[in-house]
Amino acid sequence: MKCYKCQSEDKVKAGFTRGLQRYKCKNCGCFFSVESKSDVKSLEQRRLALEMYLEGMGFRAIGRVLNISYGTVYQWVKKWGESVSLPKSQEPLEIVELDEIHSYIQNKKNYCWSWIAVDRFGKRFVDFVCGKRNTATFIKLWNRLKDKDINGFCSDYWKSYSELIPEEKHCESKTETFTIESYNSRIRHYLARFKRKTKCYSKKQFMLENSLKLLFLKLNKQLDILS
């Protein structure tokens, strides 16, 4: 920091103002303060942390690489996840594939299932919900899909699908879920908490949902983090 009046670098600390370090110029006696707190991270660093998170690294690993607190990374991802949502599109869809993928909440004995819908020909995520592997959870996803212009659904033989999807629109076959199976493998690749035999898992369900929202927007090429 230089004195804004005489451009001298000869200065001494002179307390704080509004939480910012203040200096006194020894040359002209002018007081001035720094532009930002010393611990404020740049936008570029925050974006890099998000990119690393969506490339399969956990909070602690990102913190070690960037030399910042993993709790700071957690707060950034939490804030970004709460600020975004999957866009609601009313365009017609030919085939939507459905499947579930599991992760953990709090410990590895507590399974959490993510029910996912993927547009086969548009190659994008349509929607998802998290919860138990039961019909009550699928009802939440179905309520979001049933009013959309969708020609047909493909799923495996899990009973919840046949209980709600009209028979004339429903195809039950493991060979017809090839698109969503490939997307499930991408989820496991890009999010550390979904990897098999991982040491990473969510403490709260909302962080699992925030992580999926951010990843789905990224893979749909709709993610735009500005701050």
pLDDT of residue 26: 87
**Which residues fall within 8 angstroms of residue 6, CB to CB, at 6 or more apart?**
25, 27, 28, 30
Task: Determine the pLDDT at residue 5.
Answer: 77
**Which pLDDT does position 49 carry in this prediction?**
92
Higher-pLDDT residue of 148, 41? 148
Lowest average pLDDT, out of 26-35, 64-73, 159-168, goes to: 26-35
Determine the pLDDT at residue 29: 85
pLDDT score, position 14: 85
pLDDT of 43 reads: 81
Provide the pLDDT for residue 190. Answer: 94
Query: Mean per-residue pLDDT for 114-128?
Result: 95
Q: Is the pLDDT of residue 116 over 70?
A: yes
Of all residues in the chain, the percent with pLDDT exceeding 90 is 60
- The predicted model gives 81-92 an average pLDDT of 87
Of 193 and 42, the structure prediction assigns the larger pLDDT to 193
- Residue 207: the pLDDT is 92
Q: Give the residue, 226 or 89, on which the prediction is more confident.
A: 89
- The lowest-confidence range among 101-110, 121-130, 138-147 is 101-110
pLDDT of residue 226: 55
* pLDDT number for residue 169: 95
Residue among 38, 31, 22, 39 nearest 3 (CA) = 31
Contact 136, 110 (CB under 8 A): no
